[in-house]
Structure 1
Amino acid sequence: MTCTLCTGACEEADLAPLLSPDLAWLWQPLAAAADRRGDESLTSGPAVTVTVPTEPAQCAAAAGLIDGCPLQPGQSRRINLPHLTAALSARGPRLTPGAVAAHACNRRLAANARHRAQQTIATDRIRTHLESTTAELPHHVRELVGPETVFTRMRTLGWVTRLLNAPDPTQLLEQALKVAAQLPPPGRRIDRRLMVPGNPHALDAGPLPALVLALSGSSGTPTRSAWARLGVDCDDLLGGLIITGITPRGWHIPSGATYTLPPRELASIDWQPPDRPGLWVFVTENPSILAAACNRSLAGDSLVTPRMICTAGTPSQRECNAVAALSDAGWNVAVRADFDQAGLAHVRALLNAAPAAIPWRMSTTDYLATVPEGTDTLHLQDEDASWDERLVPTMRKHSVPAYEEDLLPALLTDIGAGAPDSPSCVKHVVPVDAEVSRRC
């Protein structure tokens, strides 16, 4: 059986004379040097300095082990490791200074260095697995994960360490990558409960869902919002559309109140029609836009009470259909989102569901109004903005997304007046009622 202290270097060796208590002064500093250097054997390398003891018996015990002039009590001596290794061979053919020091101290040496080496090997294994597996993910998922940068992000977030400390790092990583592979492309949705076959609650909590969000660059935000950003629905009771200024038929909502219709209520939505022709409903992606419009209305800085819907991220098909139902009820609908890949997909999904709706301040001119300059890589296709053929090439050229908040003053002006007014919308605007007649 291999020795656990020196991995077998003591085999066929006579250690008893070397482990005398009178030689502890020699082996202890050698053990400390082995720990510092991460070298269990200590057969070579810089000499190790020791202090010769004052007791004659202790000095005599080292006879033949330390080369050079006789030992003087209290002096410092530099131990030549190759010479000591050669001297120890007389007691065992495979003995090393480190092996004897380990037996003398009754512990294996260089534990920290050995642990670091093992961690390095395991970390490299995780890196290789990540880079190879993420390169095989669907295209839209690779853009989220970033095969070239995913390991750096995971290490920065502390997930490499968490994986190394997991009971089965490989299994956890494999599970997370399988879940990530099912993330839907922009504009589509998936039920979170269906992403781990046979276990509808696997992504409710714990390391697996946290790792999936970290892989996709969605950690650091509230969990439900993070999943929503990825197009994943958690249930049909939470989430949905945030609304002000319009109500389902038969509902009584206080004037100016903001409320949320969960997905379950949107399944068979029947909107209250406008009380006169030509009224507009504005659909936005970010809650901050709706909040700013409501605050402006409360302050009396708006001509009309806001009529708005906020999707709070990627709209589900049910939410898109609910927006389309507004047109069926007689409302004019204007839709918009951020100027990025996901935002363009949101607008496409809404326009596909509601062909009568118009894009609202989503033109090239509106994008350029944000003065965008950056170094991001926008992975866009020419057909991502069918309503404006110049928009995608312009966004690629400037290499930076633009967000709804960048256009907040103009958006609030439109909302406050009750009708959209931008280069991307003017040609679509139909006659509106007297409250906004000055814009027609």
Structure 2
Amino acid sequence: MNCPLCGGACDGADLVPLLSSELAWLWQALAATADRRGDESLTGGPAVTVTVPAEPAQRAAAAGLIDGRPLEPGQSRRVSLEGLTAAVAVRGPRLTPGAVAAHACGRRLAVKARRRAQQTAASDRIRIHLESSAADLPHHVRDLVGPEAVFTRLRTLGWVTRLLNTPDPAGLLDQALQVAAQLPPPGRRIDRRLLVPGNPHALDTGVLPALVLALTGSSGAPARSGWARLGVDCDDLLGGLIITGITPRGWRIPPGATLTLPPRELAHIEWEPPETTGTWVFVTENPSVLAAASGQSLAQGSLVTPRVICTAGTPSQLECEAIGALSDTGWNIAVRADFDQAGLAHVRALLAAAPAAVAWRMSATDYLAAIPEGTDALHLLDSDAPWDEHLVPAMRKHSVPVYEEGLLPALLTDITTGAPGSFAP
């Protein structure tokens, strides 16, 4: 029988004399040593130091197990594990000090240490497998993966643990490496749908595409940007920018029409210049702002055409660059997003791509004017809002996000009048 406490070391043993209450102190000390050393048998190694109890019955019970001079109350004694192993073996041929301690404490010993050792061994197998397989990759892919550093990168990103939690770590890793092997050399491109033969949607979502991007050092950006860095074209017809009031060069668009420019069009976008240099374009995160501005303009018959670009969430690098290209054509650009961690990141990305743009109604004053009741958890860095040094402290103090809809009346006024009412350069 395979005992759950000692793995079967107690088979055929007479444990009753060893499990008396008078010996509990000794086995508890042995159990603590086993946990610390990661050795559940304790048949050898350095002696274990114990403190002799004051009770005569406890000392008498241990006298036959601890060799040497008589046991004195309170003294420290070193217990030879080899001698203790021989003593307990009298009660069972496979019995060990650790097995007796496990039964005395009612639990398996050294579980955490054994689990750590198992995880270390499993991690080592992934490292060896990765380094061996990466050596067979094409040279230009090997430069991306970096066999010497890739395991460290995966471990830092949490991917080693994530792999070990999958049903087939080696199989998933092999799949990712097979995809990486199909990546094009510099100067060439490939459609992402061709990277997994016979399965054009294998890399649309899920753990496999995320692992490929992590392996190649391309996981720190939006997925589309990461693939673009690798020379991989994603579907370029979905996503993009929703616009009204601005027109690509040479396009004929009905006045007031709203349209979506997909990534395919944004890749080489050229904008019509404004009729008057310095006319403002308003960039927003949420489609509700563009819809409200367009609807209000139609309802009121406004003479000012709303000029709004909506990123509909996180802007890709391509979208940011397309917005930045407006500056080169003579437009003034005002950018904004929600007052939360993601929204601040969106604004930073847009300002980096369009250095002449301004943060539109994204100041501490604007935030404080719109904060709702209630609390939330905002985790912000001091550097998250470089356009206004007071914004992050204000958001930390109130710890509640403010969404663009909360500022809608002011935003619509700015769009309608054609100039941002509050901005930071």
TM-score (norm 1): 0.56
Name the % identity: 71
SS for the counterpart of 1:69 is coil
SS for the counterpart of 1:209 is helix
Equivalent residue, structure 2, for 1:44:
44
Deviation at 1:246, TM superposition (A): 6.2
Deviation at 1:12, TM superposition (A): 3.0
**Residue-by-residue CA offset, 1:288-315 (whole Å, 9 max, x unaligned):** 8776664366489xxxxxxxxxxxxxxx
**Is residue 2:137 matched to residue 1:105?**
no
- Give distance in 1, aligned partners of 2:106 and 2:26: 14
Deviation at 1:210, TM superposition (A): 0.9
Say if 1:42 and 1:97, in contact at 8 Å, map to a contact too.
yes
Equivalent residue, structure 2, for 1:61:
61
Equivalent residue, structure 1, for 2:264:
263
Deviation at 1:124, TM superposition (A): 1.3
Equivalent residue, structure 2, for 1:229:
229
**Residue-by-residue CA offset, 1:317-352 (whole Å, 9 max, x unaligned):** xxxxxxxxxxxxxxxxxxxxxxxxxxxxxxxxxxxx
Amino acid at match of 2:44: S
SS for the counterpart of 2:115 is helix
Residues 1:239 and 1:139: Cα distance change in structure 2 (over 3 Å)? farther
Equivalent residue, structure 2, for 1:247:
249
Unaligned 5+ segments in structure 1 are 273-284, 301-440
Equivalent residue, structure 2, for 1:148:
148
Residues 1:295 and 1:93: Cα distance change in structure 2 (over 3 Å)? same
Deviation at 1:222, TM superposition (A): 0.8
**Residue-by-residue CA offset, 1:105-126 (whole Å, 9 max, x unaligned):** 1222111221122112111111
**Residue-by-residue CA offset, 1:208-247 (whole Å, 9 max, x unaligned):** 1110100111011011111122222221314789xx9962
SS for the counterpart of 2:82 is helix
SS for the counterpart of 1:162 is helix
- Give distance in 2, aligned partners of 1:179 and 1:149: 19
Deviation at 1:49, TM superposition (A): 2.3
- Superposed, 1:36-435 pairs within 5 Å as 36-238=36-238, 247-248=249-250, 250=252, 260=261, 262-263=263-264, 294-295=326-327, 298=330
Deviation at 1:185, TM superposition (A): 2.3
- Give distance in 2, aligned partners of 1:252 and 1:297: 21
**Residue-by-residue CA offset, 1:103-150 (whole Å, 9 max, x unaligned):** 211222111221122112111111111111111112222221122221
Say if 1:247 and 1:253, in contact at 8 Å, map to a contact too.
no
- Give distance in 2, aligned partners of 1:159 and 1:261: 32
Deviation at 1:53, TM superposition (A): 2.8
- Corresponding pairs, count: 283
Residues 1:11 and 1:289: Cα distance change in structure 2 (over 3 Å)? closer
- Give distance in 1, aligned partners of 2:58 and 2:174: 58
Moved more, 120-129 or 146-155: 146-155
Say if 2:247 and 2:253, in contact at 8 Å, map to a contact too.
no
SS for the counterpart of 1:42 is coil
- Give distance in 2, aligned partners of 1:261 and 1:24: 73
Say if 2:266 and 2:322, in contact at 8 Å, map to a contact too.
no
Amino acid at match of 2:62: A
Deviation at 1:36, TM superposition (A): 0.5
- Give distance in 2, aligned partners of 1:289 and 1:235: 18
Residues 1:299 and 1:196: Cα distance change in structure 2 (over 3 Å)? closer
Equivalent residue, structure 1, for 2:385:
none
TM-score (norm 2): 0.58
- Give distance in 2, aligned partners of 1:20 and 1:223: 64
Equivalent residue, structure 2, for 1:29:
29
- Give distance in 2, aligned partners of 1:221 and 1:262: 17
Amino acid at match of 1:247: R
- Give distance in 1, aligned partners of 2:267 and 2:215: 32
